[in-house]
Each structure stands twice: as C-alpha cells, then as structure tokens.
Chain A
Amino acid sequence: DTGVSQDPRHKITKRGQNVTFRCDPISEHNRLYWYRQTLGQGPEFLTYFQNEAQLEKSRLLSDRFSAERPKGSFSTLEIQRTEQGDSAMYLCASSPSGRPAGGYTFGSGTRLTVV
C-alpha cells in the first residue's frame, strides 16, 4: 500500500466550472476525511466518512460542495460553480477505527486554482 493517493495533484479551472477530486485511502482504513488549506493557514476540516456514511460536515461545506464515498472505498469531492475563493489545497486523510497509533495519514493534496 502506497498510502493515501489524491488525483489530480493540480487543477486549474475557470470560474463557474465544476471540478471533481478523487481520494484513494489506505485500503484497510474505514475512516476518510477531507480538509481544505489556504496559503499560510493550517488545514480546515470539511467532512468525514466512516465507511460509506458521511457522519460530519463543516459549515465550510456549502451547498456547492458534495462528497461521496461509494462502497466505503475511494471518495470524491465535487465543487460546483467554482469561485475564486475556492482556490486552495484540498487534502484527504484516512485512519482506522479508534485512536490510531500512527495518527491520521494524509495524502499530498490537490491544489485547485480558479481563474
């Protein structure tokens, strides 16, 4: 297992377009998290899945954002009608149940630029 994979690494899109990001967690991890990080700030929580169930959503996740995790494996994060304020690094993390001995494992992120 090569860790948490995110695709694409970089995405440039025009304002108003829809974008979709993919995250492949570590295979035995049943928890998956999405975070957003803007320049100079720490990551901010967006949403969390346990298996296929979306258990928590941040108020940052407006109605233009939707996340899915079909079959409890990979996850997708879609942003509709992108705005310049959506430009950020989108990070995915996964963990097993309970308090993981090795913490949460993060991917390298997808950097979104809205022009």
Chain B
Amino acid sequence: DAKTTQPPSMDCAEGRAANLPCNHSTISGNEYVYWYRQIHSQGPQYIIHGLKNNETNEMASLIITEDRKSSTLILPHATLRDTAVYYCIVDGVGTSGSRLTFGEGTQLTVNP
C-alpha cells in the first residue's frame, strides 16, 4: 500500500470547518483513500472513502486532487466531539481482504 503523510496536529475553532490534508504521492490507480478517526480510548471509526471523485456523506466531505496525489478531509462544522486522531489510509486490496496500514495520523483539537 502507498504511504501517506499527515501533519501531526491541527487546531480548529468550534463551528468552523476543519480541513485535514493528506499526501499520498505514490498512490496507484486501483488504490482507494480511506479516512478513519479514533477518539481517545475507543476503536477507530470509519468516516469516508473515495477513489478519484469527491465524496460526501453525513459526517464529512473528501476532496481528492485530480492527480490523486493528495486529498483533504473536510468536517464542515466542527464540534468539540470531533476532537480525535484522524487517519488517512491508502488501501488497494479491500476487495480481497487484508489489512489497513495506519500511520500516526493527525490529532485534531476542536477548541470552544
């Protein structure tokens, strides 16, 4: 799986949009971009995934650049409960099982 690079930490004001970047410059054509988050002392929680088109669900939006070398997770109106570690993962083998490779993620702190 391709390697991802994320900033170790970010801050955001409550009610504002949180934009979390991820670099995956070695991504290959069949690899998807996944985002998970982990709130302290809980297991990771799936947020969203995409291949090349932008995606939106009830939790977040995922913007993938045209060359697919980077992406941004957008939480449109961050709340205090969005404080968590956010992991960007590139996964090319999801259709056949196997592992997700987590990096160290971005610690997002939402401030009141």
Residues of A within 8 A of B (CB): 4, 31, 33, 40-45, 48, 50, 55-56, 58, 91, 93, 95, 97-100, 102-109
Contact = CB atoms under 8 A, between A and B. Distances in A.
Interface of B: 32, 34, 36, 41-47, 49, 85, 87, 94-95, 97-105
A102 B43 contact: no
Given A48-B97, A48-B99, A103-B34, A42 B105 contact: yes
Given A42-B102, A43-B102, A45-B100, A93 B43 contact: yes
B15 to A, nearest CB: 27
Contacts, number: 59
B99 A108 contact: no
Majority-rule SS of A interface residues: loop
A32 B32 CA distance: 20
B43 A109 contact: yes
10 shortest interchain CB distances as A-B pairs: A103-B46, A42-B102, A106-B43, A45-B99, A99-B94, A106-B44, A43-B102, A99-B95, A108-B43, A91-B43
A102 B35 CA distance: 11
